Every structure is written in structure tokens, then in C-alpha cells.
């Protein structure tokens, strides 16, 4: 039966509590995190000073409604400097605010984080798509670092480079801060070569293509654009993007799709994705950058592939060896705005990974590689 925390002692977690194997629930090839109690800490900004505690939360943190915040203050789930306050309490600059929540993390695809190389100083893994590398936003345990700690007892780990959440492939993690600094210095000095592969729309040109266009990432929209023009030219609008260069080489094609080797010389946000869009051959399942691609045939083809992919996932429950757990294996909190669902509002777990995969990183005296994914075959 689902248990109710109303009459039970609550154990609060902090970032110091390591993820455990039993923290995860696997259902329908999706990895969930059992909801847990967590203390979020912030400090009053100058512009918040003078607001009532309820007004502050209602105005600044719109993920929950005002009634919830009113109840949270009255019950002590929102505190100031470690003390319970009234709903009319006015905050002062720099005060510590604690918000104790029943935390629901977004789900990810239930794919293993495969260890490729385990050395004294370096660990390399094959990162699954949909899983973020390290704690960020609503993700904490449902991350590569969290899963490696929970399922492989590997900690501490220091990611050397980043892969976007929807991107899969080689991820290098140092096992000490000093080793991570060595890798980062090599990357920043241009001593490291990177290779990705992508499955793109259409027949990619046979000759090597180089895209040398600035990339401007819009954080509010969550997407990048390329900028065409000389930043030194006088007049007109100034260019805000960062210099970016990517080299592309076709590996194979069947006319409908192509597998392309991607060599980013720089490392800008969504660089490969937006540069491929510029070539007229966007990643074939990249909904973010297919929106500006007006080939109706490719859009229909993408929808067909997506439907087929979803059907395969739903019908092939035996392809993942993770155990299936019941929904009764977590506690329902009477004040929680997400319960009784496992996932927070807005996350249904139906997301698929991009057809973009990191296959190789090489430096002055080292090389690490990752196997190709199944979608890289056009047979």
C-alpha cells in the first residue's frame, strides 16, 4: 500500500547524502528516482528584501501555487535562518531561506551507464541519452555521476567534458581534481581532438564540409542560431555569437539518411546541431532544429521513425535487465504538489535520445573511444 508521511518522522536529505541503488524505480524502460525529502537553501537577494515570505515564493518560484507556499510556511517547511516564521514575516537581505520539499526528479531512459575503461586516474563510460552528466536543475540522482556512485560505488568523479543531456557516447571522468585539471588544460589549449557521429536528413555531400560560423545560444529559448557576417564590419547589428568551427565527413548514406562524422574544433552549445542545420542536413530526429527545415518529406520520415521507435520501446520490455518495481515503493506526501505521480509535473518519460553520439577523444598521449550506437547502421 502507499504510505502517508503525515504521521511519520521525515528524514531530510542534503547533497551530502550519496545516491543508493535502492533509490531507483524501473518501469516500462524508464528510470525514476523514488521521491525523497530534500532541503533547498537560498539567500535573500537585495531585490527580495522587504517582501513577505509568501510573496517572495509566489513571485519568484512559480512552480507551485500561493496556497502551497502559505501552507508550507505555516507548517515550517519554509524557514528563515532555521526558524519557523509567520506568513506575514518580511525577509531581510542575506538571510538564509530553507525550503524542505518532497523532491521528485525527472525520469530518464533506463539504459545502463556502461564502464568502458576503469583506471587509477581516469574512468570512461558510455553515457546514455536523456541522462544529464552531473546534478543540475531538478536532476540530482538521475545523473551519470549519481548512477555511477549508486550502482558501481565510483566516487568522487570529476567530468572532464560535457555532453548535452540528449546526446550519448563517450564521457571521460577524472578520479581526482588534479587529473581533471590536466585534461581541461589540454582541452583549452587545443590539444584534444573530438569526434562525434550523427544521423542526418538526406544525402550528405561526399566531400568534407567545414562550417565556420559563430554560434549564439539563447538561454531563454534553449536553442542556438548561427550568425553570418564579419564581426569587424562597421554598421549594422553587432554579432553576439562565439566563434565556432565544425568539420563534417560523410561515412555512408542510403539517400534518405546519412551517417556523418563530426569534428568540432570549438565547443559551443549545440554547435554540431546548429551547424548541421546550416548545411541543410539537420540531425534526423532533432525536433529543435528540424523546425526550421522545410523539407516536408524529411518531416514525414522523422514522424514515421519516431512512431516506430516508440512502438519498439513499448513492446520490447525484455531488452533491459533492470528489475521492475511497483508504484507502492515510495511514500506519498500529503503536501506534495507532484504526488502521487513518480515524475514531477511536465515530465512523462516519453523522450528519446538524439541521433548524435560521441565516439572518440584523443590527446597528446591518450585515446579513448566508445562503440557506435545501433542507429548508426543504415542497413
Candidate list 81, 164, 230, 333, residue with the active-site label? 164
How far out from the chain centre does Cα 355 lie?
15
Catalytic residue check, 164: yes
Cβ neighbours of residue 189 under 8 Å, at least 6 residues apart? none
What are 284's three cell numbers?
534526423
Yes or no: say if 358 and 129 are a contact pair by the CB < 8 Å rule: no
Give the C-alpha separation, 132 to 60, whole Å.
25
How far out from the chain centre does Cα 92 lie?
35
What are 168's three cell numbers?
550519448
Yes or no: say if 309 and 319 are a contact pair by the CB < 8 Å rule: no
Cβ neighbours of residue 171 under 8 Å, at least 6 residues apart? 124, 125, 126, 127, 133, 144, 159, 161, 163, 358
Cβ neighbours of residue 157 under 8 Å, at least 6 residues apart? 123, 145, 148, 149, 173, 174, 175
- Which positions are annotated as active-site residues? 164
Amino acid at each position: 500500500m502507499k504510505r502517508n508521511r503525515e504521521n511519520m518522522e521525515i528524514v531530510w536529505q542534503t547533497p551530502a547524502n550519496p545516491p543508493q541503488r535502492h533509490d531507483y524505480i524501473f518501469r516500462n524502460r524508464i528510470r525514476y528516482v523514488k521521491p525523497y525529502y530534500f532541503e533547498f537553501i537560498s539567500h535573500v537577494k537585495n531585490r527580495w528584501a522587504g517582501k513577505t515570505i509568501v510573496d517572495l515564493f509566489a513571485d519568484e518560484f512559480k512552480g507551485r501555487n500561493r496556497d502551497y507556499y502559505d501552507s508550507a510556511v505555516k507548517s515550517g517547511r519554509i524557514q528563515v535562518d532555521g526558524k519557523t516564521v509567520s506568513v506575514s514575516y518580511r525577509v531581510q537581505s542575506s538571510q538564509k531561506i530553507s525550503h524542505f520539499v518532497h523532491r521528485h526528479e525527472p525520469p530518464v531512459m533506463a539504459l545502463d551507464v556502461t564502464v568502458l575503461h576503469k583506471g587509477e586516474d581516469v574512468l570512461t563510460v558510455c553515457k546514455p541519452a536523456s541522462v544529464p552528466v552531473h546534478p543540475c536543475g531538478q536532476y540530482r540522482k538521475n545523473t551519470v555521476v549519481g548512477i555511477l556512485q549508486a550502482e558501481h560505488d565510483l566516487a568522487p568523479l570529476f567530468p572532464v567534458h560535457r555532453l548535452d543531456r540528449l546526446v550519448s557516447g563517450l564521457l571521460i571522468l577524472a578520479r581526482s581534481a588534479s587529473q581533471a585539471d590536466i585534461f581541461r588544460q589540454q582541452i583549452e589549449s587545443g590539444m584534444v581532438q573530438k569526434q562525434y557521429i550523427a544521423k542526418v536528413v538526406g544525402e550528405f555531400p561526399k566531400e568534407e564540409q567545414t562550417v565556420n560560423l559563430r554560434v549564439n545560444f539563447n538561454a531563454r529559448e534553449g536553442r542556438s542560431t548561427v550568425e553570418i557576417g564579419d564581426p569587424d564590419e562597421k554598421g549594422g547589428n553587432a554579432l553576439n555569437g562565439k566563434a565556432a568551427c565544425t568539420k563534417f565527413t560523410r561515412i555512408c548514406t542510403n539517400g534518405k539518411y546519412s551517417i556523418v562524422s563530426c569534428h568540432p574544433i570549438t565547443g559551443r552549445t549545440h554547435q554540431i546541431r546548429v551547424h548541421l542545420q546550416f548545411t541543410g542536413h539537420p540531425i534526423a530526429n532533432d525536433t529543435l532544429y528540424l523546425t526550421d527545415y522545410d523539407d516536408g518529406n524529411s518531416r514525414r520520415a522523422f514522424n514515421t521513425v519516431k512512431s516506430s521507435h516508440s512502438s519498439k520501446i513499448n513492446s520490447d520490455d525484455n531488452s533491459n535487465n533492470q528489475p521492475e518495481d511497483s508504484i507502492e515503493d515510495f511514500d506519498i506526501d500529503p503536501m506534495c504538489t507532484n504526488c502521487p505521480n513518480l515524475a514531477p509535473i511536465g515530465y512523462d518519460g516519453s523522450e528519446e535520445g538524439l541521433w548524435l553520439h560521441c565516439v572518440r577523444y584523443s590527446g597528446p598521449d591518450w585515446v579513448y573511444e566508445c562503440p557506435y550506437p545501433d542507429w548508426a547502421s543504415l542497413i
